Amino acid sequence: MKNILIVDDHPMIRLAIESNLLRMINQCRIYPVGTFKEAKEMLRSHWMDLVILDLSIPEGEGIEMISILRTLQNEARILIYSGRDEMSNAPVYMAGGANGYLHKDASISEFETAVDLVLNNKKYIKKEVQQKIVDNFVNNTAVINNPIELLTSREKQILSQLMLGKWTKQIAHDLDLKISTVSTHKARILEKVQVKNVIELIKKIEPFQIEI
């Protein structure tokens, strides 16, 4: 019996995933939830063989969701199932500890392949993404990753304020935070994105969409 946790805030998507899983796996028990908080609660009370995780969910924590889930159940396999661009996001999440990354536009056969591989403790990313990673390694060039995915929800919130040109004191007032707290988050953002100041930060972040 396989226990599978589906984490997606859209009921119809959860239903479609569940239907496909029940059809392809003879014996499995499905646990659908709509928020990251519910996902954590479920992992505290039930053993899971597989977690199918959307990225744009309430209480989501970006890349840190992987380490949080690993803390709760280190052996559970994690398959990211998201509508976000694979080329920029898959390398980030795979490096962060996910077992697979699948775009929501993928065919049913791709979905089945990804689930089967991840359940059998193997990795899955789309062939084109794999090839891009290999090509960049051979040519000694970096894959263009989405630096926003390295940030927590609070850091994304503060980043969006920085992108509007707000100063630390103003952000603290608007978000009802201490100035020291905002300064700490700002320093972490600069460190994670690997820039020295806000001007460099804005230039590097502009091509990407911030989802809070």
pLDDT at position 146, please? Answer: 73
Percent of the chain with pLDDT over 70: 91
Predicted confidence at residue 35, as pLDDT, reads: 94
Task: Please report which confidence band the pLDDT of residue 210 belongs to, taking 50, 70 and 90 as the band edges.
Answer: low
pLDDT in tens, 65-103: 999 999 999 999 999 999 888 887 888 888 889 999 999
Residue 148: its H or E element: none
Domain assignments of the chain as residue spans, ordered by start? 2-136, 147-205
Write down the pLDDT at residue 212: 57
Give the burial string for 14-47 (b: 16+ CB within 10 Å, else e): bebbbeebeeebeebebbbbbebebbbebbeeee
Q: Say which amino acid occupies 138.
A: V
pLDDT of residue 99: 96
CA distance 20 to 113: 12
pLDDT higher than 80, residue 130: no
pLDDT, averaged across the chain:
88
What are the tens digits of pLDDT across the range 15-74?
999 999 999 998 999 999 999 999 999 999 999 999 999 988 888 878 889 999 999 999
Is the domain 147-205 a CATH 1.10.10.10 member?
A: yes
Q: Nearest CA to 52 among 119, 107, 108, 1?
A: 119
The per-residue pLDDT for 63 is 83
> What per-residue confidence (pLDDT) applies to 211?
63
| Residue among 174, 176, 197 at smallest CA distance from 186 | 197
Percent of the chain at pLDDT exceeding 90: 60
- Contact assessment for residue 98 and residue 69, using Cβ atoms and an 8 Å cutoff: no
pTM: predicted TM-score of the whole model, two decimal places: 0.72
Task: Kindly give, in sequence order, each residue whose CB lies less than 8 Å from that of residue 158, ignoring residues fewer than 6 positions away.
Answer: 171, 175, 182, 185, 186, 189
Most confident of 31-40, 142-151, 201-210: 31-40
Tell me the pLDDT band of 177, cut-offs 50, 70 and 90.
Answer: very high
Tokens found for residue 118: 């991840």
What is the distance between the alpha carbons of residues 172 and 168, in angstroms, rounded to a whole number? Answer: 6
CATH fold, domain 2-136, is Rossmann fold (3.40.50)
